[in-house]
Every structure is written in structure tokens, then in C-alpha cells.
Amino acid sequence: MNTWVKDAIVYQIYPRSFKDSNNDGIGDINGVRSKLDYLQQLGINTLWLSPVYDSPCDDNGYDIRNYQAILAEFGTVQDFDLLLEECHQRGMKLVMDLVINHCSDEHEWFEQSKQSKTGPYADYFYWADEPNDLRSVFGGSAWEYCESRQQFYLHTFSKKQPDLNWECSVLVSEIEQMVDWWLDKGVDGFRVDAISFLDKSGIEDAPNGTFATEACVNRPKGHAHLRKLMSKIHTRDVLSVGEINARDTGELLDYVLPSRNEFQMAIVFTPPEIEVFHENLNRYYKEQVKTRIEVQRQGAWNANFLSNHDKPRQVSLYGDDGEFWLQSAKALAVLNLTQHGTPYLYQGEEIGMTNCYFDEISDYDDIDTVAKYQEQLELGLSSDDALALVSKASRDTSRTPMQWDDSTFAGFSEATPWLKVNENKSTINVKAQQQDTESILHFYQQLIELRLSSETLKTGETSLYDTEDAIIAYQRESDSCTYSVIVNLSPARVSAPNLPELQSAELLLGEELNESLAPYSFAIYKS
Ligand code: GLC
Ligand code: CA
């Protein structure tokens, strides 16, 4: 793998919520351009841009109408080209989101496929005369009837996201050409969306009520299709990261072992409900650390992250967004930036942005939240109870506008934003933290600097200390040095682990290890 990928500190931008340059309430590409200095100062060297392609935005851009056009709300192709150029001038890389399990029902391919069972586009999608009882991720049947073709089409996600048929070789070569077009433009790689579901051969025998995601996940032909595409992509100097669904470490390794020639690394998708309603999140997190250690032992590379646009805010989920907000946000930063692999940050995590909840279902935008709310009403819950339930794991908790300052719309825009701003923008914002050397923002800057300067933190061996649930502690080791990272990931004071080897080590960040560890305290030692 190319060295820049190993050195990458990736920052995910959710364009709709990052910065609005023309005050229409929607974040855009020129908004991103205006914040490149900020990102560079933070130490970011790679951006991952969530979809900016032309789209009706049923699922906020993850439903693409035209892969080679930019959504007007986000700007123009010229704006995009300027963004790419300005990134490169700064020595920054730009990674695109690639959504190729499905497209939009408004894509030309689907418009054509709808018309005829025999035309050139007939097989671009999955059509059936008799649907079975397969479920879609966003609620209801995974099959939708199409009047003009008098058949049903498959949609793993919303009915406006028909699944592309990877058995159709003409379609696959169209996808390959599209990917080449972006690479020729100079983009530096792809985060490949929902890629575990390409092999649809499981749908026929799926028992009633199975989710399409379950019926199609990680099947052999899916891997074969992927390998073919990735072998082309990897002829260029790019970063590749798959968003995959893995039920165990073996399934994850199938995507990331170098010998498989699929992805350089993977972001493992977990439905937000799993984490939000987990009975012991620390234990769950420790399992993730163990998985990453296994991935590393097997000679593969990790993607390390705590947040993205599909998950609640990390400080609200794994930390404490009340009393220990500052301390716990820093503790989580330590975990995100001292493990093996490439760290991924999600916009706003560097200032400790917290979950946002709304009082009315009409304030929610997330298609998943709205569908699940309806489902709960149908199951008999009152509207208040349904809202209380679905808002906890709503993807909108982390999609609210970036908080740049304490003005009415948080410096995101001068106009009412597409999604409400979190009221805590008056205390949690970039401007305030830039002025405070003890802030989360400054801490991220420091940690990123430390990480970039240390080969051991990037590639060193990892071993986990055996500690009680509250504590996450590990060593990163190379021939030249050892880092020991100890984090109390709990709101309680707990006894410190007994680590005599740290007596001669130098404390780089955090608090000296005494008999007990204060809530969310941490220490990074070097020896
Ligand atoms: C991925 C995206 C998510 C989207 C889904 C369907 O999981 O991250 O936001 O809804 O794929 O494209
Ligand atoms: Ca705008």
C-alpha cells in the first residue's frame, strides 16, 4: 500500500451540513473550499466527501441520478474542480464516496429499464414477476411494483434506490468507465458504499421476512465483482475503503487481506441501534479493539473511527455529553488516534459536537428515522413514545450543521438551515475553541501532530491489556519505542491497573497514573 494512505488522517465531510457559502441553508462545495485552511491547521491531510453527485436526495445523495454531474445545490463541476485543485495545492487528498450497489430511480438507466423487458437496459436492475417477502432496510417490502414494466424491482434500501444488477456486464463496464472518469480527473480514491450486497443470488431462497441485506451479504460472486473493479482502481495511486457489513472477523478479513485484492481497509457498518441500545458499550468497544488487533496480526490494515453520518455523535454515545463532556471527548480522541490503521474523523467530532434531538417528527429528515417512526405508530406506540424511541438512534443526531460560531445559525449559514442547528452552538463551536488552548480542538491538533510524527503509532504492534470493562488500555510497540495508552472510559473513578513497566516511561499526554483513574481520564506514555 502506498505510504500516503498509511499517513492519512481522513476527515469526513457531510457536505449538506458543513458550510453554506451562498446562504440558501444548504452546505455546498464552495463552503468546503472556504474551510480548507481550517482543516489544514487541524492537521488533516485527506478529505472524504460524502456524495455530491446529482441526486433527488431521497437518502441525502446516496441515491445518485447522474454519477458524472454535481447536484446543483452543492455547486457546479467547476466548483468541484477548484476544490480538488486547492486540496492538491495544499498537499491534501480528496476521496469520493462511491455508491454502486444502487442508484436513484431517477437515473437514466432506471428510466430506460422501466420501459422495456427486452431493450438494452432491461437487465440493469433486478426485475421479478412475483415478489417474495424480502424486507428493505428502510422499512416495508424490498420489492416495488412498476406499472410500465408490470414487474417488481428490487431495492435493498429505499424504493427510490433500485439495486444495480452486477451480473449485467454492460452495466459493469459503464460503472468502470464512470470510475475511470473520476480517477482521470484526479480524485484520490473512494469510500465504497454498502458494498457487501452485490451478489443477489441469495434472494430467491430467502425465508419470509428476511432483510435483503441479510440475504445478499458477503456472498462469493459479490467478492468476485468487487475484485475485478478494485484491480482496475488500484492501478492508480489511490486510497480505497469499503463500507462493509461483517458478521465476524473472518468476513471482514475477506475484504481487507492484501492477498484478496479487494480493499485497503474497511469501515464496518453497524446499525446505530446496536450501539445505542447495547447493554455494555465498553465491552462492545473492547471487542472492536480486539478485531482490529486481529486484522493487524493477519497483515491487513485498519480503518479506525468512532463517528460518521450513520451513527450518533461519539461523545454522546461512548462518552458523556454532560458533566464530563470536555474530558470524555478528549479520551475518545485518544482512542481514535492511537490505534493501528488510518484514523477517520467525522466533521464536528474535533469540537466535541453532541447528539441533537428534535421535538417534532417533522423536524427530522433522515429517511430511516421517518420510516421507523411510522413502523412504531403502526405497532401501536403513541406519537410521543415513537419519537422518543426512534430519535435515540436517528442518523440526524449527527447530521446537524457544523457549529462554527455562536451566531443564530452557528456560522454555518445566514439562512435557516435544512436541518436545525443544535442549541448548544452557543458554547460548543469552533471559534470559541480556537481561542482556548485547553479545548478539544487544540487537543485534536496536538494528537494528530503526535500521530503523524510517529511511525510506531501508525504501524506498531498492538497488544491489549487485560483490564476491567471501564478501562481500555493497550500498547503500541516497535523496535524504536513503545507507547502505552490507558483510558478510563467511564464516569466513575476506578482503580488504576498495575503497570510497573510505566515507571520509567515518559508521560506525553494526560494524567500521571496514580492509584485510581478519574472519570474519563487518560494517559499516553512513551518508553
Ligand atoms: C450507507 C450509507 C448510508 C446510506 C446507505 C444506502 O450505509 O453510509 O448513509 O443510507 O449506505 O446508500
Ligand atoms: Ca448553499
| Domain final residue pick, 375, 395, 415 | 395
511 flagged as catalytic: no
CA of 413 to the centre of ligand 2 (A): 8
Q: Determine the residue of 12, 64, 310 to mutate for testing ligand 1's pocket, defined as the one with the most ligand atoms within 8 A of the Cβ atom.
A: 310
Look-up: residue for cell 447536484?
A: 71
The predicted structure's pLDDT at residue 465: 97
Nearest protein CA to atom 9 of ligand 1, as residue? 310
The whole-number pLDDT of residue 1 equals 82
* 21: number of Cβ within 10 Å: 18
Does residue 378 sit within a domain? yes
Mean pLDDT calculated for residue range 384-413: 97
> Nearest C-alpha to atom 7 of ligand 1 is from which residue?
194
Q: Which atom of ligand 1 is nearest to the CA of 395?
A: 9
Span 160-174, average pLDDT: 98
Report the distance separating Cα 76 and Cα 368, nearest Å. 29
Q: What is the sign, positive or negative, of the torsion defined by CA atoms of 59, 63, 67, 69?
A: negative
Residue identifier of the C-alpha nearest atom 4 of ligand 1: 62
Q: For residue 83, how far is its CA from the centre of ligand 2 (angstroms)? A: 15
pLDDT mean over 202-217: 94
**471, part of any domain:** yes
Q: Is 62 in the pocket of ligand 1 (CB under 6 A)?
A: yes
Nearest to 16 by CA among 65, 49, 42, 48: 49
Ligand 1 lined by 99 (C-beta under 6 Å): yes
**pLDDT tens digits, one per residue of 285-310:** 999 999 999 999 999 999 999 999 99
Residue 45 pLDDT > 90 = yes
Answer whether residue 315 is part of any domain: no
Would residue 473 count as lying in a domain? yes
Ligand nearest to the CA of 21: 2
Question: What is the structure's pLDDT at 232?
Answer: 97
Q: Cα of 194 to ligand 1 centre, how many Å?
A: 6
pTM: 0.97
Catalytic residue among 243, 262, 320, 349: 243
pLDDT of residue 2: 83
pLDDT band for 246, please (50, 70, 90 cuts). very high
Proximal ligand: closest to the CA of 269:
1
Contacts of 370 (CB under 8 A, 6+ apart): 361, 364
Whether the predicted pLDDT of 93 surpasses 90: yes
243 has catalytic annotation = yes
Q: Is the CB of 193 under 6 A from ligand 1?
A: yes
The domain of 383 spans 364-395
Ligand 1 atom having least distance to the Cα of 368: 10
Q: Give pLDDT, residue 3.
A: 85
Q: Which of 163, 193, 320, 365 is catalytic?
A: 193
Domain CATH number, residue 514: 2.60.40.1180
Among candidate residues 75, 265, 95, 100, the one with its CA nearest the CA of residue 187: 95
Q: Which ligand is nearest to the CA of 22?
A: 2
- Summarize pLDDT for 254-276 with one digit per residue, the tens: 999 999 999 999 999 999 999 99
The predicted-structure confidence for 313-341, as pLDDT tens digits, reads as follows 999 999 999 999 999 999 999 999 999 99
- The per-residue pLDDT for 496 is 95
Domain assignment of residue 518, yes or no:
yes
* 116 within domain boundaries: no
Residue 204 confidence (pLDDT) above 90: no
Pocket test for ligand 1, best of 59, 103, 270, 370 (most atoms within 8 A of CB): 59
Query: pLDDT tens-digit profile of 210-237?
Result: 999 999 999 999 999 999 999 999 999 9
| Residue where one domain finishes, among candidates 349, 379, 395 | 395
How confident is the model at residue 347, as a pLDDT? 98
Of 377, 395, 413, the residue at which a domain comes to its end is 395
- Other CB atoms within 10 Å distance of the CB of residue 100: 23
Q: Is 310 in the pocket of ligand 1 (CB under 6 A)?
A: yes
pLDDT of residue 247: 94
E strands of 108-181, at which residues? Answer: 127-128, 143-146, 151-154
* Closest-approaching ligand to the CA atom of 30: 2
Question: Has residue 520 been placed in a domain?
Answer: yes
* 230 vs 456: CA distance, rounded Å: 29
Provide the number of structural domains found in the chain.
2
pLDDT at 459 over 90: yes
**CA–CA dist 436, 454 (Å, integer):** 26
Round to the nearest angstrom and report the end-to-end CA distance of the chain: 29
What is the distance in A from the centroid of ligand 2 to the CA of 265?
Answer: 33
Residue 386: the pLDDT is 97
C-alpha separations of 213 from 31, 118, 210, 246, 269 in Å: 35, 28, 8, 11, 12
The SS3 call for residue 446 is helix
58 lines ligand 1 (CB under 6 A): no
In a domain, 12, yes or no: no
At 148 the pLDDT is 97
Which numbered atom of ligand 1 lies nearest the CA of 308? 8
Q: Is the C-beta atom of 194 inside 6 A of ligand 1?
A: yes
CB 199 within 8 A of CB 166: yes
CA of 359 to the centre of ligand 1 (A): 25
Query: Does the C-beta of 366 come closer than 6 Å to ligand 1?
Result: no
CA pair distance 347, 309, nearest whole angstrom: 9
